[in-house]
Amino acid sequence: MDKLLHWSIAQQAGDKEALAKIGEPDPKLLNQLFGGPDEVALMKESIAIAHNPKVEDKDKEIALENFEMLIENMDNANNIENLGLWHPIVDLLKSDVPDDLRVTVSGIIGTAVQNNPKSQEDFAKTNGLQELITIAGDGQNKSLQNKALYAISSYIRNYKPGYKQFDESSGWDLVKLDSKDSKFDLRVLSLVSSILSNGLDNDIESRFKKSKLVHYLASVLNLDSNTNLVDKSLNIISELHRLRYNFSDEETFEVDRGIQVVEGLSDKINIDDLNRAKQVTKK
């Protein structure tokens, strides 16, 4: 309370130096004292607005953006299930919902489940993954497709039950490499990285062999000037090596040739991933 009193006095006096020393007061305490908005109520209201047919789409968009900001707080993200909001959120992925809203909803899902086991478990109780896979496989709206891929990657990363759902829901059909669209290719490589976060078994290795993943990664190193794609490719190559992927002689040769090319970019790329990827060529 003393801190709040000093902060209030400094705020009224416009004393920036004092404000900097005191620091910001606890938002929850401010809300309790001054009747600020309750985050639980705001979360429920935001989703209610998004489902209200009388509300204009632009206002629904604002409500959903506000919701996404709220669930950047992990406690709020974990409260989605307690508030019974997961199913209403997933319902907003359906094809009769405007694409702009579905983009934001996909972002909400990705934000909520990212590095968050509780929200991953809660999301698993819905049919949301299948909806996202359908959207990501469509491709008519690139922004929506990319955001759906982001949500899928966030959901299955370090979450084996989520990967199992992904596998059983034809999620592997999304692993399409070399689209010539760097943003899409980066999202697909993020998906590959999320798959690998759950380990490497014979089935996954076989699928990567069939899709010629390593050939594509090596081609990125040889030809692509997009440093984000190069970094992601090096990271995946090094992760494959760590997980004891069985590189063929041809794959090893192509990786080696690609690494020689990107070594000239060492000031622009992740040097740790570059050094780890080099280990592939020393087998």
Angstrom distance (rounded) from CA 134 to CA 129: 9
Question: Which pLDDT band, with edges at 50, 70 and 90, does 130 fall under?
Answer: very high
Q: What is the pLDDT of residue 164?
A: 97
CATH tag, 37-176: 1.25.10.10
Q: What is the pLDDT of residue 27?
A: 59
Question: Which pLDDT band, with edges at 50, 70 and 90, does 282 fall under?
Answer: confident
Going by C-alpha positions, the residue among 143, 144, 115, 118 that lies closest to residue 131 is 144
Question: Which pLDDT band, with edges at 50, 70 and 90, does 32 fall under?
Answer: low
Angstrom distance (rounded) from CA 217 to CA 254: 9
Question: Does residue 12 register a pLDDT over 70?
Answer: no
CA distances from 82 to 44, 75, 86, 184, 213 (A): 11, 11, 9, 34, 41
Domain boundaries, the chain: 37-176, 199-282
Give the chain's length.
283
Percent of the chain with pLDDT over 90: 72
Angstrom distance (rounded) from CA 116 to CA 25: 27
Q: What is the pLDDT of residue 36?
A: 47
Tokens for 108, please give them: 């909400």
Q: Tens digits of per-residue pLDDT, 68-98?
A: 999 999 999 999 999 999 999 999 999 999 9
Q: What is the pLDDT of residue 224?
A: 65
Average pLDDT of the chain is: 88
Q: What is the pLDDT of residue 77?
A: 96
Angstrom distance (rounded) from CA 133 to CA 152: 8
Q: What is the pLDDT of residue 33?
A: 47
Q: What is the pLDDT of residue 60?
A: 95
Percent of the chain with pLDDT over 70: 85
Tokens for 44, please give them: 């429920």
Q: What is the pLDDT of residue 6?
A: 53
Q: Are 238 and 199 in contact (CB under 8 A)?
A: no
Question: Does residue 5 register a pLDDT over 50?
Answer: no
